[in-house]
Structure 1
């Protein structure tokens, strides 16, 4: 695909699908703000908003990758690393469940990036993660001084 075609496709994704997803997120926020929504409905709406936020992030990554001149090998490596990290994380949780007899777990992740991560209006990724952890009875803290960001999750451990 030519560079011009990639840029055009990126623009179409941004102006179409991405904007539609943002609009759906705002609609869900309005529904969550209603006083008459049940706890179950709120949980389902939060799950839906988190899913939309995840899809929107994937669309944004695709837009970025369409605009950036990157080789397929580099893209596969990044995808493989994310996949492998998620597999490692799942295995560690499984080990806690089977062997630790823990009452609480703590998960932390950090980076040496530019910092500045915080809950922002119109950005639902961290807000959705915070709400999910809260629904599980835990807490999520964000420290984002330059350079870097550190996120820590503490949860009571009582798997269902």
Structure 2
């Protein structure tokens, strides 16, 4: 409601300021400036004065109104997403979860009817399968009812999965920390950032022999971010971008350069860090 009242005031100001400007100019011209400025010159100056006020005050009000409308749309989108998640959680609970419960009851009845033999063994196996499915559904319901976070954004989930796969293949410990707001990135930035992180993780798979791998994404100012892939593997000697077989790192560097981001690869203590940095202020469409 506060945002709606604020938007309403801004709209009224946009409508009234040009009119008030003309009225104030006419009053000043007739009350003070008439001996010094002719009627013809006063009439000629009036539209330029209105234009000047429009380019300053009114233009600023339009910008504030646009920002307010964008924030309102983001809030509506977030609320719609929450409502959809809650609807899916209810459907899972009222449909699949209840059906699995009834199936478990019937399996218990079958188990009581058949004390021994292959049917009993089959019932026990089915009961275990139902139990696992029921736990999966309960976990899915719990996840749907959790608040949305940057790390739960749809395009971020494959990154976390890719990190997990990298850790499984290298028997390393994985840590994923992500706090970049989804709305602070354009679609193009998401695509390019996803590709860069993927290449950096592929490089860890092929060369690092790491025990720990960490992916971190954090905000830097407005619309800016810092994203890094860090591992405690064997590291590198010399310039890693010139080493044979490091095409992925050169691709990350080139993608970052094309987007106007800073690219860095360095040793920090016992760790190798590939870092992408976008300073706040620029938005790449």
Tell me the TM-score normalised to structure 2 length. 0.26
| Structure with bigger gyration radius | 2
Q: Which has the higher contact order (CA 8 A, sep 6+)?
A: 1
